[in-house]
Amino acid sequence: MKSIENYDFRGKRAIIRVDFNVPLDDKFEVTDPTRIRAAIPTIKRVLAGGGSVILMSHLGRPKKNNDDKYSLRHIVPAIEELLGQKILFAGDSMGDRAAEMARDLKAGEVMLLENLRFYAEEEGKPRDLSEDATDEQKAEAKKAIKASQKEFVKRLASYADVYINDAFGTAHRAHASTALIADYFHNDKMFGYVMEGELNAIDGVLRNPQRPLLAILGGSKVSSKITIIEALMEKVDSIIIGGGMTYTFMAAQGGRVGSSICEPDQFPTALAILEKAKAKGIKILFAQDSLIADAFSENANTKEAPSNDIPDGWQGLDIGAEAKRSFREHILGCKTILWNGPVGVFEMDKFASGTKAVAEAIVEATAKGAYSLIGGGDSVAAINKFGMADKVSYVSTGGGALLEYMEGKELPGVAAIKK
Ligand code: 3PG
Ligand code: MG
């Protein structure tokens, strides 16, 4: 495999798939530039080596071309600021202008293509199929998009001499720009530094961790975290389960959870997880108490209650004081810590203190020599909100990709470079 570190970029145009799917506010300003900042070293490496750069990314999930809300033009100022130089914006990814701009690109220059998902070909899934389409029509549409996808990939590939995949956050998607395009660059494809760093960090944690190894899993739904919980049970010594999932586990064991988030159809799954953990000798910790509220609102009345004895009309929105203490104590005893998902509704200040306490305990453990890896949009947003990102060992740019990789799945974006 080629490496970005050794490759000779002199006079070469490198097309770099980045994941600049970043959050924007209502003024279209980037609220968390983590993913852009992460990609800067890869871009600079190509430029310093004498090459030029064509950046390509998706933003959000647009369903049609030229939907300005999803235009990458909004993030041009953020890229320029972090990169420290002006970039060219192509305004499209397929048009003549994009092709001309790529052709005329000079060493040291950087251009950005428009949101790849403006074209259905990026994902390779038919759009505009009517609700009542027959199976035959669906098959036709699928065939048509696969055919036009080939042209799409070919055109993207024609812009460059080298392909670099640095979009770890999108590596779990088998899309045109993340996987298929690699076939056009047999001898000139490689990972960027983000990809290399992410894979090394996660491999380090899962293959040869310092023990005890703890996973802290938050989030609202058991149904969306079940595969990762099961996969991690094969690796970790203990798991802290926090967030809305708590109440499904409490209710499954006969607890009262009021109007807390709860998935009754997941009760058997929850009980099976507890059984399995017991059989394997893995400790699972829950918040024994919660901060409960009489409404899902910053203005709600709040009080603390046992997580399995929440009155009607009240819902658990954060962990309680006792849980903060016991989680901290447990975290401080661990040598490797993985954290995915907040333990409360941290977006509202009133319910952020549990997630903050967890973050503080991880920072404290890290200072004492533990290795800590934080991943997933919400936990990364939380650690940034608390200003603690530089006090943990590694902050991943991946959400779904990180979880799938930890589950042991092969990521299409990784496989395409390796094969
Ligand atoms: C993400 O933020 O999850 C990645 O950028 C991938 O986006 P997607 O989930 O819309 O494919
Ligand atoms: Mg996603």
Tell me how long the chain is: 419
Give the whole-angstrom CA distance, residue 365 versus residue 260.
31
pLDDT at 224: 87
* Ligand 1 pocket list (CB less than 6 A): 19, 21, 61, 169-170, 173, 399-400
Determine what percent of the chain falls in helix, strand and coil, rounding each to the nearest 5: 45, 15, 40
Work out whether the CA dihedral 29, 43, 110, 100 comes out positive or negative.
negative
- Count of other CB atoms within 10 angstroms of residue 400: 16
pLDDT given for residue 129 in this prediction: 87
Q: Which ligand is nearest to the CA of 398?
A: 1
The predicted pLDDT at position 61 comes to 96
The pLDDT value given to residue 71:
98
**What pLDDT score does 371 carry?**
97
Please tell me the distance between residue 73's alpha carbon and the centre of ligand 1 in angstroms. 19
Residue 377 is predicted with a pLDDT of 73
Ligand 2 center to 405 CA (angstroms): 14
DSSP annotation of 315 reads: E
pLDDT of residue 383: 92
pTM reported for the whole predicted model: 0.90
pLDDT for 32: 87
Ligand closest in space to the Cα of 60: 1
Helix axes 34-48, 76-83, angle to 10 degrees: 60
Using CA positions, which residue lies closest to atom 2 of ligand 1? Answer: 21
Averages of pLDDT over runs of 10 residues in the chain (419 residues) are: 96 98 95 93 98 98 95 98 98 96 98 98 93 93 96 98 98 98 97 97 92 95 90 96 96 98 96 97 98 97 98 98 98 97 95 97 98 90 92 94 92 97
- From the number of C-beta atoms within 10 Å of its C-beta (0-12, 13-18, 19+), residue 381 rates as middle
